[in-house]
Structure 1
Amino acid sequence: YSSLKPWAMKMVFYPSFWLFFLLWNTTEAQIRYTIPEELKEGSVVGHIAKDLGLEASDIVVRKLRISAKAGKQYFSVDLGNGELVVKERIDRESLCGQSPSCLLPLQVVIEEPLQLYRVEVEIQDINDNGPVFPSSESVLNIAESTATGARFLLKGAIDPDVGPNSLNSYKLNHNDVFVLNIKTNRDGTKIPELVLKKTLDREKRAVHQLVLTAFDGGNPVRSGIAEVTVQVLDSNDNAPIFEKSLYEHSLLENSPKGTVMLTVKAFDADDGSNGDIEYFFDDQTPDSIRNMFTSDSKSGQLTVTGSLDYEERQMYEFSIRARDKGTPALEGHCSVQIDILDVNDNAPEIVLTSLPNPVKEDAPLGTVVALIGAKDLDSLDNGKVNLSLQGKYPFKLNPSFADNYAIITDSKLDREIGPEYVLKIVASDSGFPSLISQKEITVRVLDVNDNPPVFSQTYSVYVRENHAAGSLICSVSASDDDIGENAKISYSILDSKVKEVSLSSYIYINSDNGSIYSMHSFDYEKLKVFQITVQAKDHGSPPLSSNTTVHVFILDQNDNAPAVIYPSAATGSYQKMPRSAKAGHLATKISAVDADSGHNAWISYRLLEATDLSLFSVNLYTGEVRTKRVVSEQDDSSQRLFIEVKDNGDPAQSTTVTVNILLEDGLHEPISDFRQKTAEPSKTTSKITLYLIISLASVSVLCFLTFLILVMKCVRNSRNSSSCCIRRADSDGYKNPNRNLQIQLNTDGPIKYVEVLGGDMLSQSQSFRSCLSPMSEFSDFTLVKPSSTTDFKDMINVLDASLPDSAWTFESQQVSTIPV
């Protein structure tokens, strides 16, 4: 107990020590298991319950559990049989590294009553790792002058296993130059060494490839390899040697500076700096040669740097040395002999007698542009010079006297094709070989106003009606191939009339940039399209111009509400209908037009209010008012309908019309009474009745024949069964393919509504409408005659756009009612 006294002294100051003391007293024996690494999950380590003296039933009752002191839980207890099993694969190398002993401590806790056991699991190494070199390839640089027996340390392999499974030996592949020596350190580590057993010669073999193999002591044996490349470093043991001992070369005396005469070449069997050769003149070389020639130290290239002259010296002889960069440096020598050849070394010279003058593009043929001459310092044939123009130009050389020439125009000039010409003049002498010299002369061509402005396109512009005055309609642009003032363009509009009004009152053009603006807003119903003739004129002298046409199309907007033609609000008449009418009976029809066109003129009808909404309905597209059911005795005799007429524009516009319908009983009684009276045996009334019947029959037959003739003409001239088109020419000779006559039949049993329409865009139109009232046997025939009322004419103009398969244009009309 003496060992416990220090702990007992601490109990006074640390009350929590009581718990530790209790656990210390409850600790029992220590158990150790030994297993190899890499066991599969579920492998049995040992029967821990049995080793602790527990029954299988006590495992759960006494709450046996284990905990690992390490952070990871590698084992678990099978609560069914009390076996300690592997929970996760164990890698000894990752747990213990190269340590010879690898223990995993476990704590076994039994809570009832509380007991603590220490369990150690020793992990034994298996040969699961082979030797691995830090690098699969390594390079050794060894000089060829290295003495035999020299040692070179190699990088050893690493084996994570321990004991006999660790690294054991090395082996080197068979070769004639190197052997392997194994050096063992005090800690037992084996280090491979490469030993040189034969002298190296880089010129015979510069690289040696070796393979080093490492083996471990496991069973089976594992191994790893590394490639060792030995590069033999050169030693300066060879002097440079030239290909030739004497280099001979001939050189023309007129060879320009920089001309490469020849290239001397030497070879050195050494490598690196030992074989890197530089070329120099010999130390005894005079300055006259050094000033005339240079030697490139790297390439051995000999170049002319001075001016050669055969008359001064005919031959040059000197020495070149080749020296390597070894230590010490070695040299080789060769001789060079240069023979200078005499040639025609004075080229002709071109002299400008006068500077070239600019020439106008309309200059006549033969105009002198410049004067030139030629000279050659040589004599006899070598001094005779011939001048010529190289290339195709609208100029030619005209010889005057001696070696003087004039440059004159040879064809018509065009500045737009060639604003400037660079004349290349070639001078050649008569020597052998002939010498040639060149000179370039620039001749400018002055512009003449010979090109009118050109518009790149014709213009079609679409403008919405009611647009703001002063808005930009479009911009026109013309180009002029001339330059300067000849290419400066001003734009104007050629005045014309649109509907007897000057075009200048409609539009304005900016003379500088060709932007066209509107002077006021347009009305599609009055003006649909017009043309603008724009003229572009340059500022040349005399000025040139060209024209283009701008087609302006006015786009319709929905700025007109539908106008009701029938019934007229001014008449205030009532439509009569018998109470005996059945469902679907046509009471009346609303007729309306819209001055707009296209979708903006599509009209629809809708019943907004009515005395009885269940009695009447309005067709959405035709405006026909029909009964929805049979008229009853309880229905009011006066029916008031409030109908909305709306177009298809965006936004839509609409108007309203009120229709009054009178429901009457016995609408056919007067006719019955009349027939009864005619049946009385009265001679006077019989005659009157007979006359009336004959007159009525004659008028009826005449009307029927007229109608039949019109229908037959329509059938001949048109395949459309619902319309008839009769074309005619105006008195002024203008022909319009849209001028026609249309008969529209609207029926409710017998024919009760007939519309006869006709017209064109530029002439007065006629419309005949026969309205056969459904309320009595008497009908009204409505005749629409030509009129000059412009407001109503504009409203009628677009009726054709709201009707499918038609192209009507109504200029104006008046309505008169004729009883039938």
Structure 2
Amino acid sequence: MASALGCSQSFFLQLLLWDLALGQIRYSIPEEMEHGAFVGNLVEDLGLNVRMLAARKFRLVSGDRKQYLKVNFDNGVLFVNERIDREQLCGQSSTCSLPFEVAVENPMEIHRVEVEIADINDNSPSFPKSDSYLQIGESIAPGARFPLESAHDPDIGVNTVSSYQITSNDHFGLNIQARNDGSKIVELLLEKALDREQQPFLLLVLTAIDGGVPHRSGTTEISIAVLDANDNAPLFNHEIYRASVPENAPKGTLVTQINAADLDQGTNAEIKYTFSKHSAERGRELFQLDSETGEIKVQAGLDFEEANIYELYVQATDNGAPPMAGHAKVVVNLIDLNDNAPEIKLTSVTNVITEDATPGTIVAGITVTDVDSGENGQVRCQIPTSIPFKLQTSPNNQYTLMVGDILDREKQSSYNVSISAWDGGTPPLSTNQTIVVTVSDVNDNAPEFTQSSYNVYLMENNTPGASIFAVTALDPDGDQNGEISYSVVENQIQDVSATAYISISSKSGNIYALRSFDYEQLKHFQIKVQAQDGGFPPLTSVALVNVIILDQNDNAPFIVSAITWNNSTAVEIPLRSTYPGYSVTKVLGTDADSGQNARLSYQLMDATDPSLFSVGLLTGEIRTLRRLLEEDATTQSLVILVKDNGQPSLSSTATLLFSLLSNVTDILPEPSDLSNKRHYFSNLNLYAIVGLGSTSFIFLVTIILLVAIKCKQDRNISTVCCCLGQTISEDNFSRRSAPHQAVNYTGVGAEPYHYSICLSPESSKSEFLYLKPYTATLPYSDVSVNNTTARHEFKQ
């Protein structure tokens, strides 16, 4: 057997062939080859690069549980992995092959390969039984035939049973007939009449021989008892009966009826019908034969796809002794019905595909089959036209599912691709199968802020480290590509990095103030925030954030000075000549805040004689309410409250001291003096207008510079004080000592000031003189200093 196997393998290896047609490669090898046996250089035949097999995920796709074949990744050779027994794999089928598919990626390719398994003579013929027993009457005439059980050989073609032999004898020979499927029927043929008295018993040996090289054989013994009895066998009215039945015929359906007659009489003519030993077991399972009537009926479910024709061998046996039998054949054809829906088989499915996959990218290979015949087995396949995929048709009901249009994960992240297949039957049968294709993300969308610019209104004196605003950016990409981190774009604010003023949470987009802002120092600034996704390469976008500082009433009014009408020397004014409404002086205050927080009002908070003086609510001008009398105290003290309009309001106080002299002559005011007063008021108003205009101009220029070139502009109002100090020179005043008393008052948020004012001996011009304070005047810019007393003195 080993030498025969070696010869067969050598023979078939020389006949090994492959062809490339319609994308299919075919090899042929004999069965029973040893592990590692060469089949073909598959990689070379496919035109692939053996070095790229691992990178392109080269693999064999087969539906078999056993992996009969493998590929050597070093040289691309297809070799036998497990022993292949053709009879076990394909049974008695005339053809036997191992189909599989070769799948590679980058790009996706699918190749179909078929390895034909050729038969070798590795099985000997065998009989169902090692011996059999026959009873044959001596009256039977020569020519009578007696069916014998045929031998079975699992091999096919020339390797199966080709002939039978029987041991040499005087009475019997063999009659051999061929079936449609190539198998043979053997019958024992009586060639010479038997004589029971001469030879009542015969023992013969039947040998079955196959056609392989070398031949293989099997034997069985036949024991024959010669009887003296019935000498006529029943005869059928047809040697072959033919019938057709639909494959869905229910149990009990009549297929046909056979009939036989016997020329004998009596019990020798009584006939019973049975299936002969030549009928296949499957046929006897599917059909039932009535022994009395000869009716053949369906007794189990039929299936055209299992077998479309059955050959039943029947015999009619009489009741003689010994009994005699006649034989006939019944051929049953099954009528195919459309009872099988198409079957969809998927190979090499790629369930995840990137959204930048180009049209034509292969997603899956599809094979559609229908075991029905004719139009019932003709199939068509399609997918919905509303999805960005398409089917490409190949021969033999092969299809390729591929990308048909541009994909966009942000519009749709997955597709349920429904594959429908239907046959050509009436009515047609269909099958549906769904492939879920997930579209993986590509970083093709930059983050986008909800607004291109944001306005943030922040009250000054804010708490450092507190959140003041939050920006939001959206990225429709998924996973890491959609993860957004925020940052502040580097720029300068008053020559300082923006990151020293503002920080932003990289995760939430919350903006935090790193310092407390002062409206009086910085009213507005801009920063740029950037949103960056986590893709590779990352994508970014920028938004502008305008931070507008809002004023808070955090500065108390500042007392600039108490002003006399002009810079001339004191003029004596008799007390009794002082008229009601006489303008004594004017208190000037300022407030570093803006708006209502800087709107000031003046009130007389305390006075030595409240009935003597009044204060202008909005102007701060101090006037007499009545004439001065001798009885009035020579020293008068006024406490002026200067209050802003903020909520809550802040205030400061100024203390003024007046010294009244009674030893003067009555002198009426001169017209020229009144003119000088009006001139002085005019000058005073001019100063106020110039100061207000200068302040407004500086504020406007500051805003323009911050917005346009983002430069620092310091606002220094102390220069105003300098101007006033220069205007009212001390050199024009004569200093005299006079009794005076400072009155101190501190209100809510107040800053007390102390002034001394004396009436001049030449008081006819009703003017007061401004002198330097006893202590240094507070700088205008430093309005935050508390509990500081400025003391000024006016003398006459």
TM-score class normalised by the smaller sequence: 0.3 to 0.5
TM-score (norm 2): 0.43
- Relative contact order (C-alpha < 8 Å, sep 6+): which is higher? 2
